[in-house]
């Protein structure tokens, strides 16, 4: 695939993603204003879907880095990883994080009034996950510029962090231990 057709494909994917997000936002706003009593279960469902999407990307991206770190710079394999990483970040991870935060904050305010030790701890864990997201986004840029200096072992360790944070967050939400 040529660079031009690859960029065209990325452009079309970004347009489709943007249209999907806009449609979701419009339908959500309509539901919020037209049938506010029905909004809570929809908000919760959208939040859970976004969390699953965000976590899928957060678990997969560092795994791509493990393999990319061992690929020879400038190789076909390295260039393929660059495309995969960029698309994963832009088309899945970033939008999913935004939707997760928007609906999560609304749910925290509407249902719990931002009260509860478990909720404060959960928000702190989600902030840590968001910080990791930023770190991974920076790594995508470094890999794209062939400036990654971290070995595959580093990325194997980083790959475990989202899993640990996910476990903490799920326990806090389901068990509400304090």
DSSP string, 17-71: HHHHHHHHHHHHHHHHHH-GGGHHHHHHHHHHHHHHHHHHHHHHHHHHHHHHHHS
Burial of 162 (0-12, 13-18, 19+ CB in 10 A): buried
Tokens standing for residue 99 = 């939707």
The pTM assigned to this predicted structure is 0.85
Crossing angle of helices 161-175 and 117-144, in 10° steps, is 160
* C-beta neighbour count of 101 within 10 angstroms: 17
Given this model, what pLDDT does residue 121 score? Answer: 98
Given this model, what pLDDT does residue 46 score? Answer: 93
Given this model, what pLDDT does residue 37 score? Answer: 81
**pLDDT digit of tens for each residue in the chain (178 aa)?**
455 555 666 677 778 877 877 887 788 788 778 877 888 998 999 999 999 999 999 999 999 999 999 999 999 999 999 999 999 999 999 999 999 999 999 999 999 999 999 999 999 999 999 999 999 999 999 999 999 999 999 999 999 999 999 999 999 999 999 9
Q: For residue 145, what are the CA distances in angstroms to 90, 98, 131?
A: 17, 26, 22
Given this model, what pLDDT does residue 12 score? Answer: 77
Given this model, what pLDDT does residue 35 score? Answer: 79
CA dihedral 138, 141, 147, 152 (to 10 degrees): 60
Given this model, what pLDDT does residue 4 score? Answer: 56
Q: HSE (CB half, 13 Å, CA atoms) of 73?
A: 8
Separation CA 117–CA 172 (nearest Å): 9
> How does 110-141 read in b/e, with b if 16+ C-beta sit within 10 Å?
eeeeeeeebbebbbebbebbeebbeebbebbe
Separation CA 115–CA 81 (nearest Å): 43
Given this model, what pLDDT does residue 159 score? Answer: 97
Given this model, what pLDDT does residue 100 score? Answer: 97
Given this model, what pLDDT does residue 3 score? Answer: 56
């Amino acid at each position: 695939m040529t660079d031009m057709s690859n960029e065209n494909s990325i452009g079309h994917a970004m347009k489709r993603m943007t249209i999907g997000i806009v449609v979701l936002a419009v339908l959500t706003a309509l539901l919020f204003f037209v049938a506010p009593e029905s909004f809570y279960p929809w908000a919760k469902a959208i939040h859970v879907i976004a969390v699953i999407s965000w976590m899928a990307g957060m678990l997969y991206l560092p795994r791509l880095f493990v393999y990319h770190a061992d690929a020879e710079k400038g190789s076909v394999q390295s260039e393929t990883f660059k495309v995969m990483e960029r698309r994963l970040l832009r088309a899945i991870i970033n939008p999913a994080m935004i939707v997760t935060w928007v609906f999560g904050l609304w749910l925290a305010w509407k249902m719990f009034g931002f009260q509860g030790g478990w909720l404060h701890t959960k928000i702190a864990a989600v902030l840590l996950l968001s910080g990791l997201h930023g770190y991974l986004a920076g790594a995508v840029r470094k890999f794209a510029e062939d400036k990654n200096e971290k070995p595959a072992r580093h990325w194997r360790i980083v790959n475990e962090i989202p899993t640990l944070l996910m476990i903490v967050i799920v326990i806090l939400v389901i068990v509400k231990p304090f």
